[in-house]
Amino acid sequence: MASKKKAKKKAAAKHKTVAKPRAAAARSGAAKSSAAKTAPTKKEASASKKLGAATGKSASLKSTKSPASKSTPAKSRSSVLESTLAKTAATRPVPVRSAPRKRFVTGGPLRDKAVLVIAGEHSGDLLGGDLVAELRQRGYSDFFGTGGPHMEAAGVELLEHVDNLAIIGFAEVLKAYRRLKALADRIVVEAVRRGTGFAVLVDYPGFNLRIAKMLQAAGIRIVYLASPQIWAWKYSRINTIRENVDLMLPLFKFEKEIYDREGVPCEWVGHPLISRIPRRLRREEALPLKIQQRPVIGIVPGSRRSEITRLLPSMLEAVRTLREKYPRARFLLAGVEERQAPIIEEVLAAYPDVEVELYYERSLRIMEASDVMMIASGTATLEGAFFRTPMVLLYKISVLNYMIAPFVIRTRFIGIVNLLARRQAILELIQSEVTPGNIVQEVERILEDRKYREGLVAELDYVRRELGRGNPAKHAAEAIVASPALNAAK
């Protein structure tokens, strides 16, 4: 009789299942089926305990470390992607993906809830403003967050202006740490007070990925518009994204391929330049017509003070040399906004013998009219690609940032245009390479070597086609409205 009871107990114990912690299972790479039948190991239990401790507290804005990696040769967009994924697979175990987790049960729409929108740069302000306008057409009416003039014009109540958030470089971020952390705390408190339905985080990953954890812990759903460039650096951010983002809306098609592989809910929306540039062109005043002055050389030093002060002097010295060879040339200097006037004019004052035509808020007209451009790295290079205007890219940052960069950047190229192209489409001059002589040499080659120029134009045309379907704000709004996780009751 006793032996029969022991046998029954043994059989019951055999069929008893112990649920393995989800995060520990993901890290160990164990299959879901085996996780249901196997008790967690000490290592897994420890990982689960640490994760629980981390998510049980409000996330801070302390910088996260990412493993150093060498630059990856990339001859094309596809090779960059393949190399990135191959490196990731070699350095960490790939978790077994199950169906996307369901956080929310079915319920009514969230149109009566406040929507938090966070943009930390001017490009994000533009995209955020477009999205808010589209969401208003679909019944959403209460918006607040951080941004600039475009979001404010769309009816967003600003808690902080984008001018106080636009920070470039590792060292600058460290200096602003306390201020940004205090802002994040204030935003989360306000989001909870308003009963926010969901948050739209636009690009700006250093800040937005950290506040995503804090908002998620407060029960607020997360939409991420304009993916962090994890394919270029800090691929480890994919773990934060997977845990905290309910819907990712990337601008580039190849980014969707990454998120599909990683099990992150994702919809590709395309790049805003396709629909935005024609609208902006109609608003920008036409340039004075000077048909007999050729070639036309554009000068686009960027929108940040640091970019202008570091790049414009070398550009102006290059203009001095080019003027000697092309006395009938027309040099057009683009000031992104009128408020940059004191910075630009201060630099120009040091070069009284260099003649340029300065136009504010007409950068697209300058790109459209130029035969070649010298241009700061950034979104402006994509605008140049839209017009198929050959260019030489300039990138110069602080010495400290430059020393840190090789340890975190995963790609061979700095410019997004080169990453999207099948082969290198524009020459990149980085840090000490930014000299008047190097700029002049590339500008002359583009103007004088017809075959070389035609090859660049062909790649820029390819990049333009890769930018997508146009009107990403509309596609993003449609994806938000259709998302089960965002439009379900908690």
CA atoms of 58 and 105, how far apart (whole Å): 25
Amino acid residing at 68: A
CB 231 within 8 A of CB 255: yes
CA atoms of 348 and 441, how far apart (whole Å): 23
CB 254 within 8 A of CB 85: no
Please list the pLDDT of the chain residue by residue as tens digits (490 residues): 455 444 544 444 444 443 333 333 434 443 344 444 444 444 444 444 443 443 343 333 333 343 343 444 444 444 544 554 454 444 444 444 444 443 433 333 477 899 999 999 888 999 999 999 999 999 999 999 999 999 999 999 999 998 888 665 555 666 778 889 999 999 999 999 999 999 999 999 989 999 999 999 999 999 999 999 888 778 899 999 999 999 999 999 889 999 999 999 999 999 988 888 988 899 999 998 787 788 999 999 988 888 899 999 999 999 999 999 999 999 999 997 888 889 999 999 999 999 999 999 999 999 999 999 999 988 899 999 999 999 999 988 766 555 555 545 555 656 788 878 888 889 999 888 999 999 999 999 999 999 999 999 999 999 998 888 778 999 999 999 999 878 665 5
Tell me if residue 158 falls in helix, strand or coil: strand
Residues ≥6 apart with Cβ < 8 Å to 93 = 27, 28, 29
Residue 397's pLDDT is what?
75
CA atoms of 183 and 189, how far apart (whole Å): 10
Q: What is the DSSP letter of 266?
A: B
Q: Residue 292's Cα: distance from chain center in Å?
A: 41
Residue 270 tokens read as 């395309």
Strands 372-376 and 391-395: parallel
Tally of CB atoms within 10 A around 126: 23
CA atoms of 473 and 156, how far apart (whole Å): 16
Tell me if residue 417 falls in helix, strand or coil: helix
Question: Whose structure tokens read 């009514």?
Answer: 108
Q: Where are the beta strands (DSSP E) in 282-425?
A: 296-300, 330-335, 357-360, 372-376, 391-395
CB 154 within 8 A of CB 143: yes
CB 241 within 8 A of CB 264: yes
Residue 370 tokens read as 């130029």
Q: What is the DSSP letter of 287?
A: P
What domains sit in the chain, N to C, each tagged with a CATH number?
Answer: 115-272+470-482 (3.40.50.2000), 279-466 (3.40.50.2000)
Paired with 298 in beta bridges are 332, 373
Tell me if residue 123 falls in helix, strand or coil: helix
Residue 404's pLDDT is what?
52
CB 258 within 8 A of CB 252: no
Residue 453's pLDDT is what?
96
CB 402 within 8 A of CB 223: no
Residue 406's pLDDT is what?
53
CA atoms of 153 and 156, how far apart (whole Å): 7
